[in-house]
Amino acid sequence: MPSYAIVSRPDAVSERLKERLNRILSDQGFTIAEDCPETVLVIGGDGTFIYAVHKYIDVLDRVRFFGIHTGTLGFYTDYRDTDFEAFAADFVHGRVTEFSYPILEGKTEHETFYGINEIRVENAVRTQEMNVYLNNSLFEVYRGTGMCVSTQLGSTAYNRSVGGAVIQDGLDLIQMTEIAGIHHSKYRSLNSPFVMAGDTEIAFTAKSFAGAMLGADSEVFPLDNARRIMISVSDSKRVRMLKGRNVYYFDRLQSLF
């Protein structure tokens, strides 16, 4: 029997839809498998979707994600709460297409992190000085609050809020954007979002990352003991998403403003 799990935002609308969806799937012979389901059904917003992916990060190769947005139209879901019947019917009857999207992998000397939207290095305690390497070649010496590296999907998230470019869907690209860089006659860096090929490897090195944090989407980790952070598209992990309808990307983008 096909298996599923539901990850929902803890609000009244999302919880009601979760109860309805459980009843429908039970009647159709689906079984609940919280640890490693075939499909994770997400009810909420883009933040809920990203939370669900992180929850199942260790079994991404065996899990698909299919979501409905209880709010405005999201970038990770194609259905609003008013489309619930269509969402449930399309899933039950297999009227869906699977797509696969890259995620970022960040490594320090001690740990590995994954970001669906972005991986960022930020230091709110002091000016962070770090060397920026692209494909093992020194690109610049950066001074400022930090750097944000984002995927195409994540280009409309935190990256956009710090002045990064929006990248159209379907393009195999990543982006590096400064976070409050320092620029004057003595200190100078690119001071512009840099869009790169998806196979580019980025490294940040510093004598000290004391006070700095690594952000992987909504998760945050201290970098006090790190000296080098490597960021690239993961070779081993991708996000498998189901889509049941074709929402024009520019319409989706227009919902942001």
Structural domain range at position 139: 103-237
Write the CATH number for 198: 2.60.200.30
Q: What's the pLDDT at 24? A: 97
Q: Is 49 found in the same domain as 20?
A: yes
Count how many residues are written for the chain: 257
In a domain, 245, yes or no: no
pTM metric for this prediction:
0.92
Q: For residue range 52-109, what is the model confidence (pLDDT) as tens digits? A: 999 999 999 999 999 999 976 578 888 999 999 999 999 999 999 999 999 999 999 9
Active-site residue 83, yes or no?
no
Q: Which residues fall within 8 angstroms of residue 23, CB to CB, at 6 or more apart?
A: none
Q: For residue range 202-236, what is the model confidence (pLDDT) as tens digits? A: 999 999 999 999 999 999 999 999 999 999 999 99
Task: Single out the residue in 95, 128, 144 at which a domain terminates.
Answer: 95
Q: What's the pLDDT at 6? A: 98
Q: What's the pLDDT at 184? A: 86
Band (pLDDT 50/70/90 cuts) for residue 254 is: confident
Q: For residue range 185-204, what is the model confidence (pLDDT) as tens digits? A: 788 898 999 999 999 999 99
In a domain, 121, yes or no: yes
Q: What is the pLDDT of the chain when averaged over all its residues?
A: 94
In a domain, 257, yes or no: no
Evaluate if residue 256 carries a pLDDT over 80: no
Strand stretches in the chain, DSSP E: 3-8, 31-32, 39-44, 64-69, 97-107, 112-115, 118-123, 128-134, 137-151, 173-181, 194-197, 202-205, 212-216, 219-222, 228-243
In a domain, 251, yes or no: no
Q: How far apart are CA 243 and CA 253, in angstroms?
A: 17
In a domain, 248, yes or no: no
Q: What's the pLDDT at 248? A: 67
Q: How far apart are CA 67 and CA 138, in angstroms?
A: 41
Q: What's the pLDDT at 245? A: 82
* Strand partners for 148: 120, 177
Give me the residue label for tokens 């609940």.
Answer: 32
Task: Single out the residue in 35, 70, 95 at which a domain terminates.
Answer: 95
Q: Is 59 found in the same domain as 172?
A: no
Write the CATH number for 15: 3.40.50.10330
Number of domains comprising the chain = 2
Q: What's the pLDDT at 92? A: 97
With b for 16 or more beta-carbon neighbours within 10 A and e for fewer, the 60-94 pattern comes to beebbbbbbbbbebbbbbbbbbebbebbbebbbee
Q: Copy the structure tokens of residue 181.
A: 């860089």
Q: Is 85 found in the same domain as 52?
A: yes
Q: Residue 156 has what DSSP assignment? A: G
Q: What's the pLDDT at 251? A: 73
Question: What's the half-sphere exposure (Cβ side, CA atoms, 13 Å) at 95?
Answer: 10
Q: Residue 136 has what DSSP assignment? A: T
Q: How far apart are CA 41 and CA 52, in angstroms?
A: 9
Band (pLDDT 50/70/90 cuts) for residue 257 is: low
In a domain, 246, yes or no: no
Q: Is 117 found in the same domain as 76?
A: no
Q: Is 111 found in the same domain as 86?
A: no
**List 46, 78, 90, 217, catalytic entry:** 46
Q: For residue range 118-172, what is the model confidence (pLDDT) as tens digits? A: 999 999 999 999 999 999 999 999 999 999 999 999 999 999 999 999 999 999 9
Q: For residue range 95-114, what is the model confidence (pLDDT) as tens digits? A: 999 999 999 999 999 999 99
Q: Is 121 found in the same domain as 233?
A: yes
Q: For residue range 232-253, what is the model confidence (pLDDT) as tens digits? A: 999 999 999 999 887 767 777 7
Q: Copy the structure tokens of residue 61.
A: 């190769």
Q: Is 123 found in the same domain as 86?
A: no
